[in-house]
Structure 1
Amino acid sequence: MHSSIPVVLVLASGRGERFRASGGQGSKLHAPLAGRTVIEHTLAAVQASGLPFHVEDGGHPGMGDSIAAAVQATPDAGGWLVLPADLPLVRPESLRAVAEALERASVVVPVYRGTRGHPVAFAREHGDALQALAGADGAAAIVRGSLALRLELDDPGIVTDIDTVEDLARAERLLATR
């Protein structure tokens, strides 16, 4: 029996090479940010959204591989919201808004002031294609091949990912102004 509720796929498999190259120590997901780690902030938002979630941290070689493994691990999901774990400022309301928009389209791409962000959502009908993904491009080809709904959200957190120590400092400043 499939649920109609989409599952948030928190992708935590990346190697964080750009973060270390910028001077960061260790995993960007475990870097301190306002008293918690980056991934703790992300997971707190996911939990506060009330949506079911799955953390994919199997050390996959690319985002496509991570998405495929996460979809395979959640076969009864009503759809999927693909959320890289390095988006610590994403708001719970944004996650819920993207999930609700899946009722109107099979692919939903959130947008903040013209910039595409995450989570990108996919209806169940894309399950086979998502499970077939591999490599670094993630699900970009599925998005391009669909009539994706662009959902404007007033949430800079959907585009604030942590790739460098500069990104971490910017996120810290943004959190301080909330």
Structure 2
Amino acid sequence: MTDVLQAPTVIVLAAGRGERFARSGGGTHKLDALLAGVPVLEHVLRSVAASGLACHVVRPANGTDGMGDSIARGVAATTDAAGWLILPGDLPLVDARSLLRVAEGLASQPVVVPFWNARQGHPVGFGRECRAALMALGGDAGAAAVVRAQRQAGRVLDMELDDEGIVLDIDTPDDLARAEALLETRGAA
């Protein structure tokens, strides 16, 4: 189990505009859409709370933040963290155990990339040595360049997880319906 004093902080990205969800017929912002009667973002925050890891939520600052801007702001607000797990706020079914596994992986490599059924998911974990690179991010690109640079240096741990929630993001009302069905299946199991 990760020592909470040495654990990374989960940066929950909640600053996006959710335009794909609105364009595809969503009647509200995707993070406010209800999944089993609870807003999508609240599901994410409950998983983070259940993990016991520290959390920082990045909300809209000026309406023009891209993913890279949001990551940089989140890291800048938590510079004393032992590392960071970057978690988009639209992954309502991510399991707290997945967060802890990625956090634990940071003990062996400065970047941890989770996968489910060969699909890359979130959260992606970054150790303190990635701080400057994360704070230099901007625009919509996210942290892919940081992962790529660390991968070229042989400093990435690819981690297969048994958690479909790490890849099931909510971008359309159909995604929300799939999440609802998976949640019902989990409840029946």
Q: TM-score, structure 1 length as denominator?
A: 0.97
Flag structure 2 segments of 5+ consecutive residues without an equivalent: none
Q: Which amino acid aligns with 1:68?
A: A
Distance in 1, Cα, partners of 2:40 & 2:15? 14
Which residue type is aligned with residue 34 of structure 1?
Answer: A
- 1:35 CA drift (Å): 1.3
Q: Deviations over 1:46-82 (max 9, x none)?
A: 0000000100012452000000000000011000000
CA RMSD of aligned residues (A): 0.8
In the alignment, structure 1 segments of 5+ residues that lack a partner are: none
1:79 to 74, 80, 83: 83
Find the aligned partners of 2:184 and 2:6 in 1 and give their Cα distance: 37
Q: Which amino acid in 1 is paired with 2:98?
A: S
Which residue among 55, 58, 72 is the counterpart of 1:56? 58
Kindly report which structure 2 residues correspond to 1:5-154, keeping only aligned pairs within 5 A, or say none: 5-59=7-61, 60-146=64-150, 147-154=155-162
What is the TM-score normalised by the length of structure 2?
A: 0.91
- Taking only the aligned residue pairs, the percentage that are identical comes to 59
For these two proteins, the number of residue pairs brought into alignment is 176
For residues 103-154 of structure 1, the C-alpha deviation after alignment (integer angstroms, 9 at most, x for no partner) is 0100000000100000000000000110010011100000011131100000
Paired with 1:76 and 1:27, the residues of 2 have a C-alpha distance of: 32
Distance in 1 separating the partners of 2:162 and 2:90: 19
AA partner of residue 45 (structure 2): L
Q: Which structure 1 residue ranges, 4+ long, deviate > 6 Å from structure 2?
A: none
